């Protein structure tokens, strides 16, 4: 992981040095970098405090592609914000900057697979004498095979009531 983080810093430095060389009339502050994004957003640039935020989980899943498309993508937003602040987010200026960075076919949105949040379905309703219990299909199958489940609270046996609509 440390290695990937080093590469991320190097890619930020590489793209920024290209920008500084190509646009010497502008000054580019050193951006802050945070790896605190979660979910399906890969990267964000926030101009008010020159902050680049990236999604660590997606970076570790998609190493090279993340480094060489998401990182330049966000740095390009930063550069456009300095050199042409009123141009549209993924407009011609942004695309030109991406080309300078060596990304010939810039993507507006990433296509990384985002791992779905794991939630096991529990559609089988059982009851003891004190409450309702929801069973997974597997546990329901075990119950059908004669395994009896008792409630931890009342010690009563959980009995099958029916299946929930999904």
- Of the pair 7, 73, the CB lying nearest Zn ion is at 73
Count of residues that interact with Zn ion, criterion CB under 5 A = 5
Residue 19 interacting with Zn ion (CB under 5 A): no
- Angle of helix 2-22 relative to helix 71-83, nearest 10 degrees? 30
Q: Which of 32, 34, 137, 153 binds Zn ion (CB under 5 A)?
A: 153
Between 18 and 151, CB nearer to Zn ion: 151
- Least Å distance, CB 79 to Zn ion, is 12
**Residue whose entry in the numeric block shows the structure tokens 């991320």:** 8
- Options 33, 83, 151, 157; binder of Zn ion; rule CB under 5 A: 151
Applying the rule CB under 5 A, the residues between 101 and 140 that interact with Zn ion are 128, 130
Q: Please identify every residue annotated as catalytic.
A: 74
Beta bridge partners of 36: 55
Question: Cβ 143 to Zn ion, closest distance in Å?
Answer: 15
Report the SS3 class of residue 115. coil
Q: Which two tokens stand for residue 8?
A: 């991320």
**In the complex, minimum distance from the CB of residue 122 to Zn ion, in angstroms, rounded to a whole number:** 16
Residue 161's SS3 state is: strand
Quote the least distance from Cβ 102 to Zn ion, whole Å. Answer: 17
Nearest-angstrom CA–CA distance, 131 and 13:
59
Contacts 24+ apart (CB under 8 A), 132-140: 132/161, 133/158, 134/164
Q: Summarize as ranges the residues that interact with Zn ion (CB under 5 A).
A: 128, 130, 151, 153-154
């Amino acid at each position: 992981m440390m290695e990937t983080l080093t590469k991320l810093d190097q890619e930020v430095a590489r793209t920024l040095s290209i920008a500084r060389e190509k646009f010497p009339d502008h000054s580019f502050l050193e951006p802050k970098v945070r790896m605190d994004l979660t979910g399906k957003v890969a990267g964000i640039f926030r101009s008010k405090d020159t902050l680049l935020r990236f999604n660590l989980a997606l970076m570790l899943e998609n190493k090279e592609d993340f480094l060489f498309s998401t990182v330049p993508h966000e740095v390009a937003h930063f550069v456009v914000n300095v050199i042409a602040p009123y141009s549209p987010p993924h407009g011609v200026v942004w695309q030109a900057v991406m080309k300078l960075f060596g990304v010939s076919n810039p993507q507006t949105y990433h296509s990384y697979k985002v791992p779905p949040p794991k939630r096991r379905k529990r559609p089988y309703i059982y009851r003891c004498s004190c409450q309702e219990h929801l069973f997974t299909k597997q546990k329901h199958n075990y119950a059908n095979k004669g395994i009896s489940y008792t409630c931890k609270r009342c010690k009563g046996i959980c009995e099958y009531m029916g299946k929930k609509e999904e």
